[in-house]
Amino acid sequence: MKIKILTLFPNMFSGFISESIIKRSIDKGVVEIELIDYREYSNDKHNHVDDTPCGGGAGMVIKCDVIDRALEANKTDKSYVCLMTPQGKPYKQEMAYELAKKDEIILICGHYEGFDERVRSMVDDEISVGDFVLTGGEIPAMAVSDSIIRLLDDAITTESHEDDSFSYGLLEYPQYTRPVEYKGMKVPEVLLNGNHKLIREFHLKEALRKTYLRRPDLLENRDFTKEELKMLEEIKKEEA
């Protein structure tokens, strides 16, 4: 896979691409990340990429012609172009899985007061990482890239992401390691007895419990199994 990131601040990504799983994935050829400074596509002698909004208003707006030229120079037939914007659709794990199937993704990072509205006609999707506003799209672009890369073959083991929060519609179950007891806090006995059936049931029930307590909205449209319904009733009684 190739990820191209259009940004005014490519240096912000230096740590992101040079550490941990992302660096290993790049080194192994799992993913290629190209940072593109779209300031280079300005036709202004001072390389300006923004202008005051027509009709007045605070702040500066990214110009549509700059983004268009940057896309024309870097987009291919395989490119899937995403605009990072708080006005986009909420980013969820299902979208990460869909994007991980693409051959090439272009992420456009905004800045200032956003983009000329005409930029929206140049993209395939608009993504928001939450109901809050940041100074630019660079951090969201890193978050989206990270969520995609870890799903690619050979980035990490499949088992490492199959049980992640949201991967199967629930928050991840609690996990423990040694020491078995620390400051009076003990690892649940069920995780120490080697009974894989009971361990699986514990994981499922505790994932349901955590989701019920912290993100009940995730359960609203869930197609529960009989086992899950039984566990959920038990949880409601236990937490009452």
Same domain, 112 and 144: yes
Query: Looking at the structure, do residues 33 and 127 belong to the same domain, yes or no?
Result: yes
Q: What secondary structure does DSSP assign to 2-36, as a single string?
A: EEEEEES-GGGGHHHHTSHHHHHHHHTTS-EEEEE
Distance CA 24, CA 18 (A): 8
Q: Which of 113, 125, 146, 228 is catalytic?
A: 113
Catalytic: which of 10, 51, 53, 86? Answer: 86
* Domain span including residue 203: 181-239
pLDDT tens-place string over residues 17-65: 999 999 999 999 999 999 999 999 999 888 999 999 999 888 899 999 9
Residue 200 is assigned to a structural domain of this protein = yes
What's the rounded mean pLDDT across residues 2-30? 98
Residue 153 annotated to the active site: no
Residue 7, domain member (yes or no): yes
> Can you give the pLDDT at residue 162?
57
Q: Is 42 helix (H, G, I), strand (E, B) or coil?
A: coil
Shared domain check, 142 and 187: no
In a domain, 164, yes or no: no
Q: Report if residue 235 sits inside a domain.
A: yes
> In angstroms, rounded to a whole number, what is the distance separating the alpha carbons of residues 93 and 98?
9
Report how far apart, in Å, the C-alpha atoms of 183 and of each of 175, 176, 177, 192 are: 17, 14, 14, 18
113 is an active site residue? yes
Token look-up 């037939």 returns 77
Residues 91 and 188 in one domain: no
- Shared domain for 133 and 26, answered yes or no, is yes
Whether 163 is covered by a domain: the verdict is: no
Mean pLDDT of the chain: 94
228 catalytic, yes or no? no
Residues 38 and 148 in one domain: yes
What size, in residues, is the chain?
Answer: 240
149 plus 192 within the same structural domain: no
User: Tell me: the pLDDT tens digits for 98-145?
Assistant: 999 999 999 999 988 899 999 999 999 999 999 998 999 999 999 999
Judge whether 132 lies within some domain: yes
- pTM here is 0.88
Closest-CA residue to 49 (of 168, 136, 134) = 136
Q: Based on the residue annotation, tell me whether 86 is a catalytic residue of this protein.
A: yes
| Residue 230 in domain | yes
Average pLDDT over residues 145-156: 95
Q: What would the pLDDT profile of 158-196 be if each residue is shown by its tens digit?
A: 655 555 556 678 999 999 999 999 999 999 999 999 999
128 lies in some domain:
yes
Give the pLDDT of residue 113.
Answer: 81
Are 197 and 106 contained in the same domain?
A: no
Which position among 104, 126, 150, 209 bears the catalytic label?
A: 150
Instruction: Please identify, among 158, 189, 217, the residue that sits at the C-terminal boundary of a domain.
Output: 158
69: domain CATH number? 3.40.1280.10
d(C-alpha 193, C-alpha 186), whole Å = 14
Name the active-site residue from 164, 172, 201, 228.
164
